Amino acid sequence: MADAPPPSGGTRADLTAILKDFAATVERVRGMALIGTCLAEEAHTPELLALLRERTVVPRRALLRHVLEQARDRGEIRLGADLEAAVSALLGPFYADYMAGRADHMGWAEDAVDLVLAGLHPTGR
């Protein structure tokens, strides 16, 4: 698994910390340019995108899914919820805001977590 911020035990706090760490890492390594290059070269060098997925995408998704699984086991998330879709919904706002020119949207992680957790709540909040 990817390195993760130390868990707090709280679902919202842990998901938010993972997302903020993800964003900081992407920004630090000029990750959006790297992602764009890997996507642009996929037809010619598919191993670049495969390596990016293997080393960064899959481990980060696993961290988020693990927190969601723990929350489900504690009854905070309804049984049968699609956790892979939830992981995508947590990560998607970062990319969407970047493409919309809102890369400086400071509360994106908290907003994404609140929206996803509301949708996963057992009582449908």
- Looking at residue 24, which CATH number applies to its domain? 1.10.357.10
Residue 71 within any structural domain of the chain: yes
Residue 91 within any structural domain of the chain: yes
Average pLDDT of the segment spanning 43-72: 90
* Residue span of the structural domain in which 30 resides: 11-120
**% residues pLDDT > 90 (the chain):** 47
Tokens of 89: 């919904």
Residue 2 within any structural domain of the chain: no
Residue 25 within any structural domain of the chain: yes
- So what's the pLDDT on residue 1? 45
Residue 6 within any structural domain of the chain: no
For the segment 73-117, what is each residue's pLDDT rounded down to a tens digit?
Answer: 999 999 999 999 999 999 999 888 888 888 777 889 999 999 999
Instruction: Give the predicted TM-score (pTM) of the model.
Output: 0.84
Domain count, the chain: 1
Q: Could you tell me the CA-to-CA distances from 61 to 2, 45, 80 in Å, in that order?
A: 9, 23, 18
Residue 125 within any structural domain of the chain: no
